[in-house]
Amino acid sequence: MSPFDLIRAQQLMEPQRRATRASSPCGACAVRHLTVCAPLEDRELAEVASISTTLEIDPGEPLFDEGEPADKVFNITAGCVKVYKLLADGRRQVTGFLFAGDFLGLSNDAHYAYSAEAVTHACLCRFNRRKLEALLERHPKMEKRLLSMASNELAAAQEQMLLLGRKTAKEKIASFLLMLSRRAQQRGQAGNPVSVPMSRTDIGDYLGLTTETVSRTFTHLKTAGTIRMLSGGRIELVEIEPIRDLAEGG
Amino acid sequence: MSPFDLIRAQQLMEPQRRATRASSPCGACAVRHLTVCAPLEDRELAEVASISTTLEIDPGEPLFDEGEPADKVFNITAGCVKVYKLLADGRRQVTGFLFAGDFLGLSNDAHYAYSAEAVTHACLCRFNRRKLEALLERHPKMEKRLLSMASNELAAAQEQMLLLGRKTAKEKIASFLLMLSRRAQQRGQAGNPVSVPMSRTDIGDYLGLTTETVSRTFTHLKTAGTIRMLSGGRIELVEIEPIRDLAEGG
DNA sequence: ATAAGGCGTTGACCTAAATCAAGCGCCGGC
DNA sequence: GCCGGCGCTTGATTTAGGTCAACGCCTTAT
């Protein structure tokens, strides 16, 4: 009866570091404060643990495909997953990159509206959709949390529409780098040398560009001294202000 | 504490025609089955009525602007409203056209994330955000309904990203016409001569095109005999199948 | 060590859509 | 009745980004 599609983690309160032993696997979850589980008490986490299993997937491995029966939902605990939609002739739009704390799979429809695939090695919690919905029924604060996450997701989607419909290639790349930086910081990671684990093709499919244009645009920014390419797919934002100005279409 | 941004009405069950007098203004609401109020009992509607006022706005009149304190939320009962975001230099992205039954204004943030403005003369119910949130607290089924509407909205947003990022002008226009047709049918209106109340500029800003390209593309489809322009801003979809094929990128 | 394939970069060229520029109705105001 | 402005269309031209093609680098397999 209930919902969702794709929920992005948000900061709820101060990250509660708890590497301590716990009454359940979930009690030790390092990204709990980012997830749908954030508002739950320790004792309630046992319930969550009882209906979830963990899994890991390797880069390029699919999680599910558009059109499949949507009977599982997922919570990402580590790594990066991309979600995308395809046109008949293979044109692809990546509609989001998901990270630790993000939630995906819930849908009003009985079938997934998009495909999901690992970008990096990723760790996930898997739930049976019905069981999770039953759990939500018993925990209104968890449902509120979903609503709140959905709200953020909608705002992000509108921002992405502005990007896709109206920004230039350079502005798109600048916005993309800032988004990755901001999201890394939300997860308590470094925001400046920003980690860019996805391929040029994935970036292009996310920004409505080709790989060539993505590559050329990185080169322009690099030549201008605005960014610097580091090893391990990391990019240093040398001059943040010009990047912000670009992203805002200034 | 709670949610939202922009919620699009969905079909919940068979439209329940009830032009009868009612215990409250809401009891007579012709579009109730499309709105967030759909799951409420007649007696519960009185509560909704007690915290809402109605208003009407004329074409071009703003409802609110991006960045304003988001203290009101709205339910559209008639007409068409557009929501949009702007870049610093005035480039505009219309992120949605809203119709009877659609809900807008709720946000996680204290400020609106987008602007809203009437396309046609429109009738709305206005709520104080806090009061509505308190009402949601007492009516979990209404909150579930919001979650469900948000889920649909997210799926629509992803579809729109695919359109903006990967479709050609012709495919965008075909998708747009089908969207308007489908949404009119959801509201129990004619789906084929489809009513197109918004300007070429608004359409362009929704599809990531210029008015000139929108106009030319309509002309192409007209010349090909695929559509026919009628009076009163209505468009007849003469050949649906070619339009569907275009929209799906076939 | 070498071959082979995948990803990223770069260059040359092309094209879909943007931009610039008229005009053409249509409506509202005087 | 006439004028002025806006929305829409159409044409000419430009351009951002796409397409096609090559090559270099790195990784993995033989």
d(CA A174, CA A163): 10
Strand D nucleotides below 7 A of a protein CB?
7-12, 16-21
- CA separation, residue B92 to residues A159, A161, A208, B85, B206 (Å): 12, 10, 17, 6, 9
CA dihedral sign of residues B185, B170, A248, A171: positive
Q: What is the distance in angstroms between the Cα of B10 and the nearest Cα belonging to chain A?
A: 10
CB-based contacts of A88, cutoff 8 Å, min separation 6: B248, B249, B250
The predicted model gives B70-94 an average pLDDT of 97
Q: What is the pLDDT of residue A6?
A: 58
Of A172, A174, A221, nearest to A229 (Cα)? A221
Enumerate the residues of chain B whose CB falls inside 8 A of the CB of residue A88.
248-250
Report the distance from CA of residue A21 to the C1' of nucleotide C4 in Å, as an integer.
49
B58 touches strand C (CB under 7 A): no
The mean-pLDDT minimum among B131-140, B158-167, B196-205 falls in B131-140
Cα angle A207-A167-A90, degrees, rounded to a multiple of 5:
30
Enumerate the residues of chain A whose CB falls inside 8 A of the CB of residue B148.
1-3, 108
A164 and A207 Cβ atoms separated by less than 8 Å: yes
**B91, B143, B166 ranked by CB distance to A166: nearest:** B91
In terms of average pLDDT, the best of A7-11, B1-5, B108-112, B173-177 is B173-177
Q: What is the pLDDT of residue B2?
A: 44
A185 and A245 Cβ atoms separated by less than 8 Å: no
B22 has a pLDDT exceeding 70: no
**Mutation target among B151, B168, B209 for the A interface, most CBs of A within 10 A:** B151
Backbone dihedral region for residue A4 (phi beyond 0: left; psi -120 to 50: alpha; all else: beta): left
B195 touches strand D (CB under 7 A): no
A5 and A25 Cβ atoms separated by less than 8 Å: no
Q: Which of residues 196-235 of B touch strand D (CB under 7 A)?
A: 199-201, 211-212, 214-216, 218-219, 229
pTM of the predicted model as reported, rounded to 2 decimal places: 0.92
d(CA A108, CA A123): 25
Q: What is B108-173 written as a DSSP string?
A: SSSB-SSEEEESS-EEEEEEEHHHHHHHHHH-HHHHHHHHHHHHHHHHHHHHHHHHHHH--HHHHH
Q: What is A122-140 written as a DSSP string?
A: EEEEEEEHHHHHHHHHH-H
B149 has a pLDDT exceeding 70: yes
Enumerate the residues of chain B whose CB falls inside 8 A of the CB of residue A109.
155
Enumerate the residues of chain A whose CB falls inside 8 A of the CB of residue B159.
85
CA dihedral sign of residues A201, A202, A204, A205: positive
Confidence of residue B8 (pLDDT cuts 50, 70, 90): low
For chain A, the average pLDDT equals 91
The predicted model gives B126-135 an average pLDDT of 95
Confidence of residue B15 (pLDDT cuts 50, 70, 90): very low
d(CA B123, CA B78): 5
The predicted model gives A217-228 an average pLDDT of 97
Confidence of residue B4 (pLDDT cuts 50, 70, 90): low
The predicted model gives B233-250 an average pLDDT of 95
B24 has a pLDDT exceeding 70: no
d(CA A177, CA A196): 8
A18 has a pLDDT exceeding 70: no
Q: What is the distance in angstroms between the Cα of A49 and the nearest Cα belonging to chain B?
A: 24
Q: What is the distance in angstroms between the Cα of B30 and the nearest Cα belonging to chain A?
A: 24
Percent of chain B having pLDDT more than 70?
90
Report the distance from CA of residue B38 to the C1' of nucleotide D7 in Å, as an integer.
39
CB-based contacts of A220, cutoff 8 Å, min separation 6: A170
- The DSSP element (H or E) to which B107 belongs, if any, is none
The predicted model gives A231-235 an average pLDDT of 95
Other residues' Cβ atoms within 10 Å of the Cβ of residue A194: 24
The predicted model gives A183-187 an average pLDDT of 96
Nucleotide nearest to B211 (CA to C1'): D8
The predicted model gives A154-178 an average pLDDT of 98
Q: Is B157 on the interface with A (CB under 8 A)?
A: yes
The mean-pLDDT minimum among A48-57, A214-223, B176-185 falls in A48-57
CA dihedral sign of residues B45, B49, B51, B53: positive
Of A86, A92, A91, A81, nearest to A6 (Cα)? A81
pLDDT one-digit tens code per residue, A63-99:
999 999 999 999 999 999 999 999 999 999 999 999 9
Q: What is the pLDDT of residue B25?
A: 78
Confidence of residue B7 (pLDDT cuts 50, 70, 90): low
pLDDT one-digit tens code per residue, B95-121:
999 999 999 988 889 999 999 999 999
CB < 8 Å from B in window 125-154 of A: 140, 143-144, 146-148, 150-154
- CA separation, residue A165 to residues A87, A159, B83, B115, B249 (Å): 18, 10, 14, 17, 18
For chain B, the average pLDDT equals 91
Q: What is the pLDDT of residue A20?
A: 36
**A5, A162, A248 ranked by CB distance to B151: nearest:** A5
**B93, B107, B147 ranked by CB distance to A3: nearest:** B147
State the Cα torsion A72-A77-A79-A85 to the nearest 10°.
30
Of B133, B150, B106, nearest to A153 (Cα)? B150
A57 and A116 Cβ atoms separated by less than 8 Å: no
Q: Do B4 and A147 touch (CB under 8 A)?
A: yes
Q: What is the pLDDT of residue A12?
A: 45
From edge to edge, which strands make up the β-sheet containing B194-195? B194-195, B234-237, B227-229
Other residues' Cβ atoms within 10 Å of the Cβ of residue A42: 12
Q: Is A49 on the interface with B (CB under 8 A)?
A: no
Q: What is the pLDDT of residue A210?
A: 98
- CA separation, residue A214 to residues A94, A176, A227, B137 (Å): 14, 11, 14, 47
